Structure 1
Amino acid sequence: MLASVARPGRAGSFPGPERVLCSFRKQTARSQMTCPPEESPARVPIYFVTHHEDHLPLALGMLRAQVFAHRDGALLAHYDPLPIVSRDAAGMHALWKRHGRGIWLFSDYLWSQEYNLGLAAAVKAADRGNITVHGGPSAPKYAQACEQHMARYPQVDLVVRGEGEQTLVELLEALAGREAGEGLDVLSGVAGLSYRSQGRVVRTPERPRIADVDSLPSPYLGGHFDHYGGEVVAAIIETNRGCPYACTFCDWGSATQQKIRRFDLDRVKAEIEWIGRKGIQVLWIADANFGVFQRDVEIAAFIAETKARFGAPREVVVNYPKNATEKIAEIVKIFARAGICGQGVVSIQTTDPETLRVIRRDNIRVDKYDELARIFREEGLPLSTDLMIGLPGATPASFKADLQRYFDEDIWVKAYRTQLLPNSPMADPDYLREHRIRVDANKFLVATASYDEKDLAAMVSLWLGFNILDGYGVLRYVSRHLQWDHGVPGTDLVQRLVQGVQSAPGSYPAIASMFRNFNANRPAETDWARFHEEIGRFITDAFGVTMDPALRTVLRANALAMPSPGRAMPETHHLDHDVVAYFRDHLDGPGGRRLADYPPGEFRLEDPFGLCRTGACGVEQYDSHQVFFELTSPVSRRRSVPNFVASAPEEALAD
């Protein structure tokens, strides 16, 4: 129900609605009980529906803490807020069997909504007297969308719009005074609700934002997660709420109406210490723009201190400011020195002026990203960027230009398909019509006024090829040599390879096999020498580049930089041309000299993360903005400490 909390990572593995409903019914049949006794208990139970065994659900914790604190606990005379414990559908059934009819709270996100709707259907089928309350970013706020949603899902009794803490306690107060048999119209005076009444959906006025966020008690410090159970990997905190931007694809700014409100610094530090004491390895900071305030540097330093004291957290996941500043570099440097996995991620989404205008993001200074990239390069810090595929206003040419921009900067890129969030400005009916937006069954954009489905397929194919060849370093050395010495842009090479494999896979079997199998299976068992030899032939065929000693050198260097089982690391190789000096000159300065002009040199490779152990290359980061695949060399991309090793000393990082 708390709309401001960001997504905590991987989706869960709960079944869909029909399987949840079936599981709940089977449990009921086994207990030979159609529903609990009709008489009302002394106190009405409140059920908090959880989804991830390994994540502490901040939104639900904030709600439970507010119920306990409201009017000095006055609601506890009427309600029994059950402990927040990690439970699957069968566990929820057992809880219902024990406590009976009550109020069920669902926090709907893209990854939890299907499960929530299934469980809501199950509990309503078991007892129509259960009241299901849905909130969160995927509970639609637009009037027409909300009515359609509630018509489609009759198991949804109430939808909470926006921040849920105050709405919930007022809702509970109203329901506590309801007479027997009285409907939900007792909620007409509670702002921020949509509810069912006599066959129609009633929409109450909008609720103002919570002005004093420190009036909201902490679920961590109040003990509301003390009995969660499960193997908790991640915990989520907010240091502030709000976002000053109104990007159309995002529901953050529209949900918080711009002004940022900060939680007390001592409270934030106490929550971080609680997480560290519990040994929770991943800290997710759910701010829209962590790093926008100078105090965020102090918070980062406290996280580092906590890790030194308790060994946790070992990874920090954040959303950094849109108008990037030097504070980001300072924060990332603190994490790097503390051995915490966490890098600078700038959510650029696109640099195309027309697309930025269409998505109402043209108030963000793109040149700030170039400045940040320079600072990170000088400080030797890891940096990546987020792009979005298929934004309204985008075209295949503009998306290719975005990739090329960050190829030139040698910055990791992570790209996502654009998805229509139900509470984002993009979901406004007028905006949908204006930009002729069409979506698929999962709400991913498939066409807009600026591109059609064929164009989208071209953008997706380009990204998939780019991610393999540049993100994982498979052609990182070769593609830059081709651009620097022969004027062939890196994205042109990727595009031609993708098109070549699609049109004639039999001509280049090793390349075709790479594209076909890499994303599904990434062990260090590829015959890299054969693959890069075939790449050399493709380059000669497609671009007319002569297979000279310089091209042979960079092909060999790229093959050596790929992990292979059984290699005794470190290794030092003698190359006909000094690839290290060549790369440093071009990445850190104006460049200008061709590789053929460099004398012989050494190429030293290390494997601090154990990538040459068979199967190790299939390890994924919790937050996959950085890739651990290319072996470490003097010119490999800077990486932070990974989260899949017990320790990673400073010397494990690239110079």
Structure 2
Amino acid sequence: MSDNRLRVVLVQQGVWDMPLESMPLASGYLKAVVLADERLRAAVDVRISNFRGRVTHGEMATGLFADGVPDVLAFSVLGWNQRAFGVLAATFKQLNPDGLVVFGGTHVSGQAERVFRLFPDVDVIVNGEGELTFAELLHARIAAGPTDLTGVLGISWRRGAEVVTNDDRPRVEDLDTIPSPFLTGAIDLVDEHGRFRYDVALIETNRGCPYKCSFCYWGGAVGQRVRAFSRARLRAELELFARLGVHTVVVCDANFGMLPIDLELVQDLIEIKRVHGFPKAFEGSWAKNKSQVFYEIVRMMRDAGLRSSFTLALQTLNPDALDLMRRRNMKVNAWSDLVDWLNEQGLDCYAELIWGAPGETVESFLAGYDELARRVSRIAVYPIMLLPNTDYSENKELHGIVALRGDHDDFEYVLAHRTMSFQDNILMQRFLFWARVVAENAVLRHVWNPLRELAGWEQSWVLNSLADWTETTSCPHALPLREAAHRGHGGGAPAYAEAIGYLFTTEEGKQALRTWWAEAVVPRLPVYLRPFLTSVFRYDLETQPVCDGGSLPVVVVEGVEHHVRTNVRFDHDVPKALASLRAGQCPDLLGKAVHFDIYYRTEALNAVKSTNHEEIVHFMGEARPAAAPPLPAVVALPAVVPAIA
């Protein structure tokens, strides 16, 4: 670094400990603004420090300060990293007492009194959109030194012992005035080998959300008119990703598929895929209300082979809870026809639910869960948390909410309220653990529908069966799951990740599932269903992502590397039988031996470690009829499965 330039470090940290980084989009915007400003570019040396989740404070301190202590340290703060960043701010001030610490992000925006009280070494909090504010803050720092920030809009800051909150900054109307972090080179996109370095590519097409849900503070833009980046800019960004071979683009909008410009973006994306072969998948938070624009987008993506998981962000099916959430006007409860239509198109659809919202009960939640499970492949279930600046957070007394701050994060976890007792919540935390680990993350995904349609078992019953068995079995392979489940009852994300990793990456984890199936499921099934349902269960295990390909050969399919397991024998044509069930027809329960080659996209470990169920499904094995005559050896059922009468 040059000694006469202001040294600025922008800090981000993802939530998960993954082999690949999460893209530092927020910091990228800030750096791009600095690079685009001629005066700042000459006066400021700016870099991004992007950390994976669960690194230690010492590791982050080394990364930030080993090559010299900056003048400005700016953190992108979220609930999972606020405490760590507060610790780093204190260390920074010991090394550079005149340095400036800036906190920005939705978790601290509008929270100056509390944040300054908790972290006395933080100097400035950015309220709202940060790009123009940050540039103005650096200009003020260069001109007036560390003390006078009176003229900077959109910040709260310390003036001696006083907390000063300046006037709000108007939202950016023309988003293209914010330079692209990709096209400007602000974000390093490739590693030392020239490969795209992140798990997925993140992109914003617009900002704002017209809704005001009681639990949400989406970028501070709730109840706001939606503003969009230009089509030309977005196309240029997508073309750059495609040239780098990016498999999955994730759009960071609150309601993608709501506006006609969203259709234009997908048209461009499909044309780019046709030319370059990438991207292969496009994920995001889809519009709550599905308009004709959404349906046209889905048709186009299906025809182009552009994969996605289409979201039903229902959060609850309970009318009382919906009222208190302020979601009745979204018309999201007209969801069943949409699911039927997506199924007809052969497309994956998953739903989101929140457990513990005011107005919800154990009975209403499980009834809604099972109703959804009859129609969708996955349900993502999250415990209600109180986020800053939301209606739930600001009206806890109104709802009778009792909450507890997390041990290692700054989220408030709801423990009880007027329709949910503390005991109810303890009971449901166990269910949430298994629903999230096994069903949401698709450890099992095909067996739910046959168990329900043929055996009459609701999905919640099966998950509770697994929970009961894990707590009482003497099977040694279940012990890591039991321990993770006990830790996960407090909402701890690491416990979920530990269990998901154990089930996906270890033979012991798979053996635990086989033993549960043999001991707790098979004996309760009618004899005539056991062979077929066991074949479906085994198909679930055989098509799980391959995290360590070992000696499996690698082939390239449409430009993407896959492990392939050849000539895998099943006693039933499971894919055909599952298709029959989805069509409302009775499958062939007698079956006959079939052989498949199963293709698994390589490098699945990153998706598994991130516990991102939307990404995990892109790594599931795809079975195709065996390309060669089957080998003489028979692939037998696991020894723990009892003989079928």
Give TM class, smaller chain.
0.7 to 0.9
Residue 64 of structure 1 deviates from its aligned partner by 2.7
Q: How does 1:464-613 map to 2 (within 5 A)?
A: 464-467=433-436, 470=439, 480=449, 483-484=452-453, 487-496=456-465, 498-499=467-468, 502=471, 504-505=472-473, 519=500, 520-522=502-504, 523=506, 525-526=510-511, 531-536=516-521, 539=524, 547-551=526-530, 553-559=532-538, 561-563=540-542, 569-573=567-571, 584=579, 586-589=581-584, 600-602=590-592, 604=594, 606-610=596-600
What is the CA deviation profile of residues 249-278 of structure 1, one whole-angstrom value per residue up to 9, with x for unaligned ones?
221175354210011100111111222234
Deviation of 1:42 after TM superposition, in Å, equals: 4.4
How far apart are the structure 2 equivalents of 1:475 and 1:94? 46
Alignment of structure 1 residues 110-509 onto 2, 5 Å: 110-142=79-111, 146-178=112-144, 184=147, 186-225=148-187, 232-233=197-198, 234-252=200-218, 254-325=220-291, 327-328=293-294, 330-332=296-298, 334-335=300-301, 340-428=306-394, 430-431=395-396, 434-441=399-406, 442=409, 443=411, 444-467=413-436, 470=439, 480=449, 483-484=452-453, 487-496=456-465, 498-499=467-468, 502=471, 504-505=472-473
CA distance in 1, matches of 2:184, 2:454: 62
Residue 18 of structure 1 is matched in structure 2 by none
1:20-59 equivalences under 5 Å are 42-51=4-13, 54-59=21-26
User: Quick check: 1:65–1:219 contact (8 Å CA) kept in 2?
Assistant: yes
- The offset of 1:369, in angstroms, is 2.5
Per-residue Cα deviation, 1:527-556 (whole angstroms, up to 9, x for no partner): 87764342346537xxxxxx3424554345
Deviation string, structure 1 residues 406-430 (Cα, Å, up to 9, x no partner): 21114211222233222433322x3
Q: By how many angstroms is 1:163 displaced?
A: 0.5
Percent of aligned pairs sharing the same letter: 27
Partner in structure 2 of residue 641 of structure 1: none
Task: Specify the alignment match of 1:106 in structure 2.
Answer: 75
Deviation at 1:202, TM superposition (A): 1.3
Structure 1: distance between partners of 2:606 and 2:150: 57
1:65 maps to 32
Asked whether the equivalents of residues 438 and 446 of structure 1 are also in contact (C-alpha less than 8 Å), the reply is: yes
The residue aligned with 2:628 is none
Cα distance in 1 for residues equivalent to 2:103 and 2:441: 41
Q: 1: distance between equivalents of 2:377 and 2:529?
A: 24
Question: How far apart are the structure 1 equivalents of 2:48 and 2:607?
Answer: 34
Change (3 A) 1:243 1:154: same
User: Which letter does structure 2 place at the counterpart of 1:624?
Assistant: H
**Range with greater deviation from structure 2 (401-410 or 489-498):** 489-498
Paired residue type of 1:204: N
Change (3 A) 1:84 1:457: same
Counterpart CA distance in 2 for 1:385 and 1:513 is 28
Verify the 8 A CA contact 1:283 1:317 in the aligned structure 2.
yes
Amino acid at match of 2:214: T
Distance 2:430 2:369 in 1: 13
Indicate how the Cα distance of structure 1 residues 512 and 291 shifts in structure 2: closer, same or farther if over 3 A, else same: same
Give the whole-Å Cα distance in 2 for the aligned partners of 1:445 and 1:134: 26
Cα distance in 1 for residues equivalent to 2:451 and 2:227: 49
Does residue 89 of structure 1 match 2:87?
no
Q: CA deviation at 1:167?
A: 1.9
**Cα deviation digits, residues 57-91 of structure 1 (max 9, x gap):** 22222223333445xx34456x3142446585334
Q: Distance in 2 between matches of 1:171 and 1:414?
A: 40
Contact 2:349 2:377 in 1 (8 A): yes
Q: CA shift at 1:349, angstroms?
A: 1.8
Q: Structure 1 counterpart of 2:62, which letter?
A: A
Alpha-carbon distance change, 477 to 235 in structure 1, aligned in 2, over 3 angstroms = closer
Any stretches of 5+ residues in structure 2 without a counterpart?
15-19, 52-59, 485-498, 547-551, 553-564, 625-645
More displaced, 158-167 or 270-279?
270-279
Distance 1:568 1:187, change over 3 A: closer
Within 2, Cα distance between the matches of 1:104 and 1:373?
Answer: 47
For the 8 Å contact 1:194–1:204, the answer to whether it is kept is yes
Change in CA separation of 1:219 and 1:453 when aligned onto 2, cut-off 3 Å: same
Decide whether the 8 Å contact of 2:314 with 2:333 is kept in 1. Answer: no
- Give the Å deviation of 1:316: 3.1
SS in 2 for 1:356: helix
Counterpart Cα distance in 2 of 1:288 and 1:510: 41
Query: In 2, distance between residues paired with 1:313 and 1:375?
Result: 25
Q: Deviations over 1:466-501 (max 9, x none)?
A: 456655777767664554456553323433553465
Deviation, structure 1 residue 161: 0.5
Secondary structure of 1:105 counterpart: strand
**C-alpha deviations, 1:595-616, integer Å up to 9, x for none?**
8xx77444756453349x9x99
Partner of 1:647: none
Shift of residue 291, structure 1, vs aligned partner? 1.3
CA distance in 2 between partners of 1:452 and 1:605 (Å): 51
**8 Å contact kept, 1:610–1:616:** no
Q: Which segment is superposed worse, 59-68 or 580-589?
A: 580-589
Conserved 8 A contact 1:605-1:633: no
SS in 2 for 1:345: strand
Distance 1:497 1:75, change over 3 A: closer
Measured at CA, do residues 155 and 208 of structure 1 come closer, stay the same or move farther in structure 2, by a change above 3 Å? same
Please say which structure displays the higher CA radius of gyration: 1
8 Å contact from structure 2 (residues 350, 377) kept in 1:
yes
Alpha carbons of structure 1 residues 554 and 627: separation in structure 2 relative to 1, 3 Å: same
Aligned partner letter, 2:76: S
Structure 1: distance between partners of 2:197 and 2:4 = 33
Deviation track 1:631-652 (CA, whole Å, cap 9, x = no partner) reads: 7679xxxxxxxxxxxxxxxxxx
Confirm or deny: 8 A CA contact 1:289 1:319 kept in the other structure: yes
> 1:562 aligns to what SS in structure 2?
helix
Instruction: State the distance in 2 between where 1:622 and 1:465 align.
Output: 13
1:279–1:95 distance in 2 versus 1, CA, 3 Å: farther
Find the counterpart in structure 2 of residue 640 from structure 1.
Answer: none
**In 1, distance between residues paired with 2:610 and 2:117?**
40
> 8 Å contact 1:532–1:559 — kept in the other structure?
no
Residue identity matched to 2:599 = F
Q: Compare relative contact order (CA 8 Å, sep 6+) and give the higher one, 1 or 2.
A: 1
Q: 5+ unaligned residues in a row in structure 1: which ranges?
A: 1-35, 541-546, 635-655
Contact 1:324/1:369 (<8 A) preserved: no
DSSP 3-state at the match of 1:155:
coil
CA contact (8 A) 1:158 1:194 kept: yes
Could you tell me which amino acid in structure 1 is paired with residue 124 of structure 2? L
Equivalent-residue separation in structure 2 for 1:211 and 1:559 (angstroms): 54
- How many residue pairs end up in the alignment? 564
Displacement after TM superposition at 1:561 (Å): 4.8
